[in-house]
Amino acid sequence: MIDAKIERHARQAEQVWQKAYPLFRSVIERRKLTIGVEVGVAFGGHSETILNCTHVSRLYGVDPYRHQSHYDDPMNLPQEEFDALCEFSTRRLSKYGERYRHLRMDSCDAVHTIDGQIDFVYIDADHSYKGVNRDLCVWYGKVRDGGVIGGHDYGHVNFPGVTQAIDEFFGRLNWTVQTEGEGVWWVEKRAVAVSVFIPAYNCAGTIRQSVASVFSGNLSDGDEVLIVNDGSSDNTDAVLEQLRQEWPEIRILRHVRNKGGAAARNTAVEAARHPLLFCLDSDNLLVSNSLQRLKEFLIGNGADAAAFAEIRFFKQDMNMADKRWVLQAGPVTFADYLSGPVVPGASGNYMFTKHSWERAKGYPEFAGALDAWGFGLRQAATGQKICVMPESFYYHRHGHASYWVRDFRQGGPSLLALQILIPFLDQIVEADVDYIMSREGRYDWFENLDQRPLKLKAGDQGQSGRITHQSLMSRLGYGKFILGRDVRKLARRTVGAMSVLRSKLF
């Protein structure tokens, strides 16, 4: 009874699906791909087409044939029918012998059972945003450079998460998604280059060591190093010219006058040629071969930014680190930025995509030494995915006249931090907005975050990105938006806070 139902279901489904079957097959043949994976085998018709009509020598079919509760998809069958479907498909494909191997398991388990790299993967399993993103993250690193990552249901009106996940994953890398019709899509996997940039101001005594750490096993073919001399008054420029003689890959950009760290960082990002960027301060040091690991971690986790897990502080000798910060491995959210100082933006030495910088509207150039923290907060508050890579670290110099020390020798940073935070106040609970706007809180709330963290509204972990710097004025009533009572209240407090900020900062 069940077998007959499965066969009938197969005939009905493949009357529709078979229109797409020849399309990816032609991609395989054009690009001479021979070893691949299909994630989501279903009735086996697409796998059969690949094995019948291409020179593929080994095709792995990955499908757990397992019912998922709370997942809405016509192919989410009862478990009894899934068991019958698995038997139906494996029997159908058994005629290909060693050319086909079925792996009845999840993607995250199946990827580890396949030796070496593969030429292609075809993703057509879980059609939710989360499911497609997971499969892209799992299989990206398994496909060789020059191979193909593809799949089905791109643009399908019933599965909008498919298109969203694909566009976001590859959009970070500025890769174009190719379409063949009938929902078939693919991209060619290629090497991703990194732009390492260093803002430099009066750092003649430290920047040579920092640059040397970059060139100590941290660059791959095509990577670049940009250094922005931010109007230095010492002999930094002469040192940079010497460095460029030693390493011709270095590009030097110059500000005629000192504009501050944020402006130097923004100048570098604007000039960067690659989709991934890493900021290294002019007195800090990288561990050999750490950037490649961080790059693979960022891409393979579908992240917009990725940071090392540990910051080891030193004064002169990096082998004598006297303090360390440890970031918890995993995602970093807006809530984390409002809970204490140990976040990636606190040091600013981490990797991110150029698209992420654009979404965050760059480094805040009014923020002084809070520019890196402010940029990280903007990334988190606009819902970007920031991850910390476990078992990794870099060296951070301290105890000298650093950017932070120079900028805040005269007072605390809370007013500047408030100015950075203003566009995102509607994500914070009312009582905490009152606190940081108050006479008692506005001057030291930032320094006291670990003792007095701010809270986000229920269900809002920085994923909405509802207010950006571009939209702030319209949200305060200067555009077509009609102010409601709560927004008018926020506007009044914002105007008051800005008045205080102007009197204190200018």
Residues 101, 41: Cα–Cα separation, whole Å: 11
Q: 344 Cβ partners below 8 Å, 6+ apart? A: 305, 307, 327, 332, 350, 376, 386, 388
Residues 50, 15: Cα–Cα separation, whole Å: 17
Q: Which own/partner contact pairs does 235-239 have at CB distance under 8 Å and 24+ positions apart?
A: 235/204, 236/200, 236/201, 236/202, 236/203, 236/204, 236/207, 238/204, 239/204, 239/207, 239/208
pLDDT band at 488 (very low <50, low <70, confident <90, very high): very low
Say what the pLDDT of residue 402 is: 56
- Give the tens place of pLDDT for each residue, 23-72: 999 999 999 999 999 999 988 999 999 999 999 999 999 999 888 887 77
Look up the CATH architecture of domain 194-408: Alpha-Beta Complex (3.90)
- Listed range (76-90, 105-119, 215-229, 246-260) with the worst mean pLDDT: 76-90
What DSSP assignment string belongs to 103-129? E-S-HHHHGGGS-S-EEEEEE-S--SH
DSSP 3-state assignment of 388? Answer: strand
CATH fold of 2-188 reads: Rossmann fold (3.40.50)
The radius of gyration computed from the CA coordinates of the chain, to the nearest angstrom, equals 26
Instruction: Provide the percentage of residues in the chain whose pLDDT is more than 70.
Output: 87
- Give the tens place of pLDDT for each residue, 372-414: 999 999 999 999 999 999 999 999 998 755 555 555 555 578 9
Q: Which amino acid is at 433?
A: V
DSSP 3-state assignment of 311? Answer: strand
Residues 407, 368: Cα–Cα separation, whole Å: 7
| Both tokens assigned to 30 | 């054009």
Q: Where are the domains of the chain?
A: 2-188, 194-408, 414-505
| Dihedral sign computed on CA atoms, order 46, 52, 55, 60 | positive
Q: Is the pLDDT of residue 13 over 50?
A: yes
Q: What are phi and psi for residue 209, nearest 5 degrees?
A: -65, -40
User: In the block, which residue shows the tokens 């993967």?
Assistant: 121
DSSP 3-state assignment of 73? Answer: coil
Segment 177-198 mean pLDDT: 97
DSSP 3-state assignment of 504? Answer: helix
Specify the DSSP class assigned to residue 476: I
Q: Is the pLDDT of residue 171 over 70?
A: yes
Question: Nearest-CA neighbor of 442 among 406, 465, 472, 411?
Answer: 411
Mapped to the 3 state alphabet, what secondary structure does 423-461 carry?
A: HHHHHECHHHHHHHHCCCCCCCCCCCCCCCCCCECCCCC
**Per DSSP, what are the bridge partners of residue 188?**
148
- Give the tens place of pLDDT for each residue, 412-455: 789 899 999 999 999 999 999 999 999 888 899 999 999 999 99
Q: Is the pLDDT of residue 472 over 80?
A: no
Q: How many residues does the structure list for the chain?
A: 506
Say what the pLDDT of residue 83 is: 84
Segment 298-319 mean pLDDT: 92
